[in-house]
Structure 1
Amino acid sequence: MGSELDFGRRAEGKWYEISRRNARSVQTTVGWIFWDPGAVARYEAWGLDKVLAMPLGYIASRGAPLAPAGADTMIAAFGTISAVGIRLTFDLLKSPDAFREFWDMREEAIEEGLRRYAPGIVDPLCEMGPALWSVVDRLPLLGRPLFAATLSMPRPQSPLLSGWHAVNLLREWRGDTHWALVAAAGLTSSEASILHNEWLRYQDDWLSKSRGHTEDDIDEGWESLTRKGLATDRRVLPEGLRLRQRIEDLTDDRTVLPWQLLGERAAHEFAERFEPPCELLLSRVDETAGVQFQPASRVRARYEDGQD
């Protein structure tokens, strides 16, 4: 039997569409830094191997708020990111203080990179930052560990970095919500990566490999999806694609609250002001990582039954 999610859609149509639309700009405002050469160069200068600087630097900088809780907690919060990579990061960095160094290095690269590659985002972040923080401070913590841990970090004095962190917290709140839905569907990390890869129409387990899953992890994921009736012969069946689309729809539905708290007018203002510079940041991802990376920033059609 396949997994099902039957929570229903509750948000009014306009809020669902606002949530769905603004999710792209939230993701893009934050996600470009994961592959930014300025950040990666700092991680290398700290001492990470050139090959490992990007993936482990990402884990270290994003995971710094959770570092005191240990590798298992970070694995639980990071969804489909490789457990092997997270454990290796802990082995190399040794202490939460070292994770905090990566957080600080990322701060420098964020401010530098935004001003250089998407200067049009500077004013929106500075001007809308206080209103976004007002929203962040009212969001519920329940079931959202990465959001809660990140919220406890010191707030930057720089208006630009402060606005960026408010957006980052919206991203982490959405991410925690998404992974709660994945868990409610009974999916493992490997299964979720495989379903996502097929839903995106990517080939050859690309997404799983890009997130550090081993061949054994991927094989196990395919086998378990097959047992659940969601795949056969390393091909996801319509039932699996319907489940993945359902998770996406529910994620958009369950993350309307920040935009409702912000207000309809300001939520539309966010879309109008952030989308143009975010296209530049997405182009930056294309250059530094590739056109398949950061799929949450890409426009994609919904999966419909009967679709090839």
Structure 2
Amino acid sequence: MVSERWHDQVADDHWRETSRRNARSVQTTVGWIFWDPGAVSRFEARGLPGPLGYIASRGAPLAPAGAEALTAAFGTISSVGIAITFDLLKGDVAAFREFWNLRDEAVDEGLHRYAPGIVDPLVEMGPALWSVVDRLPRLGRVLFGATVSMPRPRNPLLSGWHAVNAIREWRGDSHWALVASAGLTSSEASVLHNEWLGYGGDWLSKSRGQTEKEINDGWELLSRKKLAAGHRLLPSGLRLRQHLEDLTDELAALPWQLLGADLSTEFAERLEPPCELLLARVDETAGPNYQPASRLRERYRGPEEGAGTDAP
């Protein structure tokens, strides 16, 4: 019996680590495009600045449901920015689809130019990744469900990229479900994430368009819950944020379990090198704080875990 429990724990640890490892490449494969000049210039030519073009292109699948639905799905992205995007596009679903297609153009162009080593892996692994996507549960994953309802590209590279994007949205939906279950608001979640990253200065909240009032409200709510004191996060707050991350890794192990150990390892080994080039592209076009899910960091360990410090 002890041996069986040990074996189960080893298996769980393996998939949790696989989930954590591959999350970086999933995020990087998709996220670099958010700030890339190839996409931004296309968005601007169509009438939206880069950040609003990001909202329109990523949010296109949920556009028919309106701004409030997209705000709920996006988690910590500014509700004001989302509302402005809908106003400028007059809620026209076809216009949102245009931005979705403009993003695809920029992805195809940019991957060939900046990370050509990712092309063959995405083309070759795309069918297996779509097989995983088709088997993932939809329950509670609204943005994922809307995303997979979009037409799948005939272009093999874009098809593989969109399969990765679907897995990314599935993990994101899973994470926001955990955040909501912890009773956190959008502003609280941003403050927690920022401090857990060690960024300070409310950088993350500001980068996502949250107002000073929203940020202050987040700190106040965290203080009431004994997770912060003033504008300083307490060890209890850092432990909560790390716990949410660990639970996300556990939940998001499912796609890799469905893909299987061999292909999950192949995904890691083939995508990590070109993703480092895409992350360097983010550093160049946005800055080193952006896309934190792609950055390597140590787990937060409080005194009870033997770290001897409460600092993140």
For residues 21-36 of structure 1, the aligned pairs below 5 Å read 21-36=21-36
Q: Which amino acid aligns with 1:23?
A: A
**TM-score, structure 2 as length reference:** 0.94
Cα distance in 2 between the residues matched to 1:135 and 1:102: 26
Match of 1:123 among 110, 120, 124: 120
CA offsets 1:164-222 (integer angstroms, 9 cap, x no match) = 00000000000000000000000000000000000000021000000000001001111
* Number of the residue aligned with 1:88: 84
Instruction: Look up the match of 2:205.
Output: 208
Q: Aligned partners of 1:67 and 1:47: how far apart in 2?
A: 17
The alignment's C-alpha RMSD in Å is 1.0
The residue matched to 2:135 in structure 1 has which SS?
Answer: coil
Match of 1:15 in 2: 15
Q: Within 5 A, what are the aligned runs for 1:1-308?
A: 12-48=12-48, 53-94=49-90, 95-305=92-302, 306-308=309-311
Q: Which runs of structure 1 show a deviation greater than 4 angstroms over 4 or more consecutive aligned residues? A: none
**Percent identity (aligned):** 73
- Displacement of 1:11 after TM fit? 6.6
Q: Is the 8 A contact 1:11 1:253 kept in 2?
A: no
- Structure 1: 5+ residue runs without aligned partners? 1-8
Task: Report the CA distance between 1:155 and its aligned residue.
Answer: 0.2
Take 2:204 and 2:225, find their aligned partners in 1: how far apart are those partners? 21
Q: What is the rounded CA distance, in whole Å, between the counterparts of 2:212 and 2:16 in structure 1?
A: 37
Deviations 1:144-166 (A, max 9, x none): 00000000000000000000000
- 2:104 counterpart letter in structure 1: E
In the other structure, the counterpart of 2:5 is none
Larger RCO (CA within 8 A; separation ≥ 6): 1
- What secondary structure sits across from 1:290 in the alignment? coil
TM-score (norm 1): 0.95
1:12 partner SS = helix
Cα deviation, residue 307, structure 1 = 3.2
Distance in 1 between residues matched to 2:10 and 2:83, nearest whole Å? 39
Runs of 5+ in structure 2 lacking a partner?
Answer: 1-8, 303-308
- C-alpha separation between the residues in 2 aligned to 1:239 and 1:114? 41
Bigger fraction of residues in helix? 2
Q: Is the 8 A contact 1:114 1:121 kept in 2?
A: yes
> In the aligned structure 2, how far is the partner of 1:179 from the partner of 1:133?
23
Q: For the residues of structure 1 that align with 2:167 and 2:55, how far apart are their CA atoms?
A: 19
Q: 1:302 & 1:260 partners in 2: Cα distance?
A: 23
Provide the rounded CA distance (Å) in 2 between the counterparts of 1:11 and 1:210.
Answer: 38
- 8 Å Cα contact 1:10/1:253 also seen in 2: no
Change (3 A) 1:203 1:46: same
Corresponding residue number in structure 1 for 2:305: none
Q: Which amino acid aligns with 1:66?
A: L
